[in-house]
Amino acid sequence: MEHKVHIFDTTLRDGEQSPGASLTGREKLEIAHQLARLNVDVIEAGFPCSSPGDFKAVQEIARSVKGPVITALARAVKADIDAVWESVREAERPRIHIVLGSSDIHAKHKFRRSREELLAMGVEAVRYARTLCPDVEYSTEDASRSDRRYLYQVLEAVIEAGATVVNIPDTVGYAVPAQWGRLIADIRRNVRNIDQAILSVHCHNDLGMAVANSLAAVRAGAQQVECTINGIGERAGNASLEEVVMALKVRRNYYGAYTDVVTSELCRTSSLVSRLTGLTVARNKAVVGANAFAHSSGIHQDGVLKNRDNYEIFSPDDVGASGTEIILTARSGRHAVRHRLEGLGYTLTPEELERVHQRFLAVADAKKEVFDEDLHALMADERGTSNQTYDLESFRVTSGTGVCPTATVALRSGEAVLEQSASGDGPMDACFSAIDRITGLGVTLKEYQLNAATAEKGALGLARVTLERDGATATGQGASTDVVEAGVRAYISALNRLLARAK
């Protein structure tokens, strides 16, 4: 008999914990609204106790995003639970999510408490949370390395205490599909009151099996899957939402399960999360990668032209990857540019459109055709640098054989224009040194990447810079047909993000 699988999206909590991925409150809200359009069942909006900024972001999402359950994470302590409740209480459908370790490894080395003490902590936390909110989820952290009998005991006790959802995490990605499926089936057989709660799984990808483990759990009777857009998250990431959802859709007869996700929004959501987090989606990524519907082999091309079913198991339309007939060139006006950007998921103010259109014209003059990837790069640059502490005013670089590379950079900060010159090992190093002289922030360059947005000659350069200051890191992006300018813009974007986080 078919059953519905609830999709619990934790992109804004576990996903944002990816190294180098930091989101502003505005960006988290933008993603949350898109997740509502995607029609996920639950949005985990953050970890409110971690910082005032995260508390405020969760609260704003709870107030304004309608449809999904809005939850946030708490440790099994009263202060965390209170923070979650205060942040989500205004949601249309609030939930408190509590996590506490269940493995002997965590008991001994993390909590330094006995099994009995942890069990009592969990039960007390659930009972308290239920006095605040009727919907409480309890996660048994590190369940894949927990003693089976103790795990059954914990689940039975927290359900008795009022948990409406019990989540079984493979926290370190240790499980394999056959074993994981058996664990879920055994929980259903051995926990006497399991039918009083939704049974959920949360799988990490350390061995590359997060999606496979999640699907094995569904086949064994799991009713909720916790996952993230593009599979982002701690270390190697989480189960990829788009892969789980499309596997259940394409192989519905095999899994006997379905979701309510609007799959035609998958590509748009993937693109949005990639742009805002700065975490690039691999071209060969399943479902949403740029090559997902690309065919280079002559045999494949012939087969697809005769019948798409020869080499594609679902249509590009199914995931929102259908193309467009609008070809953007230097002759395209604002209306055409806005239309295409809206098709890519952007909503622009008139001021943003004017700035982007001017940048678009400069790119269009330098190349014959402007592609979607170019527009994504321009928008990443616009969203990363507008209304920030520093904006690029101008730069000049001198470099060549036998010449010491030097750069002069001018930055605008409010009404002031600040200018400095510096030399370096190369033109980029000189530019970065000049910027450091202007700001005096003492940052450390952790990563610099430069890629072409498209494959043709004269492509837009897309630079990515990660900076560190006082233990905090931030990633910025910049785009230009001039690769030095792209790097400068990315560096300034990362600086602005660091300053925003500090504030």
Copy the structure tokens of residue 65: 């995003």
DSSP string of 91-107, one letter each residue: SSSEEEEEEEE-SHHHI
Report whether 502 contacts 472 (CB < 8 A).
yes
Mean pLDDT to the nearest integer, 339-355: 84
Alpha helix segments (H runs only) across 11-113? 25-38, 52-64, 78-88, 104-106
Q: What is the pLDDT of residue 324?
A: 36
Q: How many CB atoms lie within 10 A of CB 209?
A: 21
| Topology adopted by domain 3-277 | TIM Barrel (3.20.20)
pLDDT of 454: 66
The rounded distance, in Å, linking the Cα atoms of 466 and 186 is 45
What is the rounded distance in angstroms from the CA atom of residue 78 to the CA atom of residue 82?
6
Concatenate the DSSP letters of all residues of 451-501 into one string. Answer: EESSSSTTPPEEEEEEEEETTEEEEEEEEESSHHHHHHHHHHHHHHHHHHH
Q: How many Cβ atoms from other residues are within 10 Å of residue 470's Cβ?
A: 10
Positive or negative CA dihedral for 428, 429, 435, 438?
negative
For residue 303, what pLDDT is reported? Answer: 66
The pLDDT confidence band at residue 331, using thresholds 50, 70 and 90, is confident
Which tens digit of pLDDT belongs to each residue from 359-393? Answer: 888 777 766 677 777 787 778 777 655 457 898 99
Distances (CA, A) of 367 to 127, 332, 459: 63, 13, 7
Classified as helix, coil or strand, 389 is coil
Residue 327 pLDDT: 58
366 versus 105: which is more confidently predicted? 105
DSSP characters over 421-462: EEE-SSHHHHHHHHHHHHH----EEEEEEEEESSSSTTPPEE
Model pLDDT, residue 304: 52
Per the model's pLDDT, the better-predicted residue between 146 and 350 turns out to be: 146
Mean pLDDT of 175-186: 98
Please give the C-alpha separations between residue 103 and each of 143, 176, 338, 423, in angstroms, as whole numbers.
6, 17, 53, 55
Least trusted range by pLDDT, from 149-158, 183-192, 381-390, 478-487: 381-390
Query: Where residue 455 falls among pLDDT bands split at 50, 70, 90?
Result: low
At 296 the pLDDT is 39
Fold observed for domain 388-502:
Double Stranded RNA Binding Domain (3.30.160)
Q: Which pLDDT score is estimated for 142?
A: 95
Query: Whole-model pTM?
Result: 0.74
Give the pLDDT mean for 295-301.
46
Residue 364 corresponds to which tokens in the numbers above? 């269009």
Q: Give me the mean pLDDT over the 235-259 stretch.
A: 97
pLDDT tens digits for range 39-87: 999 999 999 999 999 999 999 999 999 999 999 999 999 999 999 999 9
Place of tokens 């449809």: 67
How far apart, in whole angstroms, are the C-alpha atoms of residue 343 and residue 112?
53
> Which whole number is the average pLDDT over 425-434?
95
C-alpha 69, offset from chain centre: 18
Instruction: Report which listed range, 302-306, 320-324, 374-378, is most confident.
Output: 374-378
Q: Across residues 9-13, what is the average pLDDT?
A: 97
Q: Tell me the mean pLDDT in the region 135-144.
A: 97
Where in the sequence of the chain do the CATH 3.20.20.70 domains occur? 3-277
Please give the Cα distance from 80 to 71 (Å, whole number): 13
Mean of per-residue pLDDT scores for the chain: 90
The ranges of the chain annotated as CATH 3.30.160.270 are: 388-502
